[in-house]
Amino acid sequence: MNAATVFVHGFNGDAYSTDHLLSFAEESGWATKVLNAYIRRNGQIEFTGEWSDRIDNPMVQVIFENNRAPERRQVRWVRNLLVELKERFGVDNYNGVGHSLGSNVLVNLGIKFGDDTKLPKLNKLVTIAGPFNGLHGFWSSKPIKSIIDCDWEPTIKTHHFQKLLKMRDRFPKGVDVLNVVGQVEGSLNNDVYVSVQSARSVGYLLDGVVNKYHEIMVTGPDGYHCSLNQNDTVSREINNFLWNYNRQVADFKLITSKNNSDGFKPIIVRNGGLQAG
């Protein structure tokens, strides 16, 4: 059976947070949603939907009843969910897609439980607007080109980030990562909720550990924290990364969105070359 793809929303999120990502994948013909996994406050998991081994690229949508639970608790809950997917439905491989704190949950899970044989194997990971290094860098005002030219290492590291650095070698081997970062129009380098520096820091955290790391930066109105997961252009890139094996994914891509009378048309920089999207 091919890999199941598990979608995890962020702090204070709900089904709406990942609905567009799933529906766009279905409408594009890449994957099929088969299960909702509703995780109660006590950690109990309730599945709705129907699993079938004959479905290509099955998707599972995770919904936390307590969507403000501490990150470490959500990590444990998703770990238990993955164990149940393997034991109950025979899932041996999975992809993870997280938005906001959901991205942190999936990365932390990979580091803390990377050697847990009860879990299915992680193949690919998509992180969208993850606050991996807390709020550091929120008030930065560097030009975009200057940010792109910088490496991923944050100038100041949170205590939690430093702990993860010490354990990062436990992250599963052979994983491909796509990290999506947002920056709204204006002078500050953030998506209104998460700094560009913090969102990009996962590249440093997993450097030398993962198989391949890819990054997309979205600027302008579509770079808003709560727009990145509702954006057709971003969703298309995610679909190609997860399921389109005939298309090569760029190491870095800049997508600049603008509001104009003709509608939205992204301008994309791919590996130094400028082209219209």
Q: What is the pTM of this model?
A: 0.91
Residue 169 burial by CB count (10 A; 0-12/13-18/19+): exposed, middle or buried? Answer: exposed
Quote the pLDDT of residue 226.
Answer: 95
Residue 67's nearest CA partner among 107, 8, 112, 125 is 8
pLDDT mean for each 10 residues of the chain (277 residues)? 93 97 98 98 97 95 97 98 98 98 98 96 98 75 63 87 97 98 83 92 97 96 95 97 92 85 42 31
Domains, the chain, ordered by start: 4-246 (3.40.50.1820)
Quote the pLDDT of residue 145.
Answer: 63
Quote the pLDDT of residue 136.
Answer: 66
The sign of the CA dihedral 181, 60, 212, 250 is negative
Quote the strand ranges of 129-175, DSSP E.
Answer: none
Give the whole-angstrom CA distance, residue 194 versus residue 152: 15
Quote the pLDDT of residue 265.
Answer: 43
Quote the pLDDT of residue 2.
Answer: 84
**Are the C-beta atoms of residues 192 and 131 closer than 8 Å to each other?**
no
Distance of CA 67 to the CA centre of its chain: 17
Helix (H, G, I), strand (E, B) or coil at 150: coil
DSSP for residue 230: G
Quote the pLDDT of residue 137.
Answer: 57
Quote the pLDDT of residue 148.
Answer: 64
Q: Which strand ranges, in their side-by-side order, compose the sheet holding 273-276?
A: 45-49, 32-39, 58-64, 4-8, 93-99, 121-128, 176-183, 212-219, 252-256, 267-270, 273-276
Give the whole-angstrom CA distance, residue 163 versus residue 127: 20
For tokens 């847990």, name the residue. Answer: 116
